[in-house]
Amino acid sequence: MFNLFKPPLYIRLSPARLTVRNAKTGAFVSEVPEIAISRGPKPKVLGTGDDAALYKSSKSALVTNPFSHPRSLMSDFTLGQQVLKAFVKKLPKGGVLAAAPRMIFHPQGDPAGGFTQIEIRALHEMALGAGASEVTIWQGQDLTDEQVLSRDYPPTGRVLE
């Protein structure tokens, strides 16, 4: 019964795009997963997603994509977690009580040999650090909102919890 109050978020991640969608309300954020960090002794986040692009020509900021690496889906865990957390915060809140969401994390792409156990674990930990109460890693075809809500995942994919 308590799960009814946890917003189900479906997260699709590739180096080119991060999409966070509330399967219950249909609200979503879909942008390039970049982050702008100020240079200096105490770096701070200046912007994420489309807002980070505003700092690309600035010498006082570093703009990076923590999900862009030639051999892995993730190049920087800490910055990736900050990007995911910021994207979740960009979603409109569904009610008065903001419960920790249930996240279905769907890494995109088909790396040679599949995603490693280390990458899967890092994505799981990243989602927990971004505020998830429960995380499912989904590998397979894209899911519909109905499948996310009912947890009825196609047999052609792979669920890792």
Q: Which residues pair with 12 in a beta bridge?
A: 19, 106
Helix (H, G, I), strand (E, B) or coil at 18: strand
Side by side, the strands of the sheet bearing 18-22 are 28-31, 18-22, 8-13, 102-107, 134-139, 158-160
Which has more pLDDT, 30 or 71?
A: 30
pLDDT band at 1 (very low <50, low <70, confident <90, very high): very low
What single-letter amino acid sits at 13?
A: L
Is residue 91 pLDDT above 50, yes or no? yes
Higher pLDDT, 110 or 21: 21
Kindly report, residue by residue over 94-137, the tens digit of the pLDDT: 554 467 889 999 999 877 778 888 989 999 999 999 999 999 99
Mean pLDDT of 31-60: 93
Residues 6+ apart with CB under 8 A from 34: 48, 49, 52, 53, 63, 64, 65, 83
Per domain, the residue ranges of the chain are 2-30+71-160
Asked whether residue 54 carries a pLDDT value surpassing 60, the answer given is yes
In DSSP terms, which residues pair with 135 in a beta bridge? 103
How far CA 63 is from CA of 76, 90, 102, 111, in Å, comes to 13, 19, 29, 25
Q: What mean pLDDT do residues 124-152 have?
A: 92
pLDDT value at residue 72: 84
* pLDDT at residue 161, rounded to an integer: 64
pLDDT at 67 over 90: yes
Please tell me the distance from the alpha carbon of residue 47 to that of residue 7, in angstroms, as a whole number.
Answer: 25
CA 145 to chain centre: 16
CA terminus-to-terminus distance, the chain: 20
What fold does the segment set 2-30+71-160 form as a domain?
Nucleotidyltransferase; domain 5 (3.30.420)
Whole-model pTM? Answer: 0.88
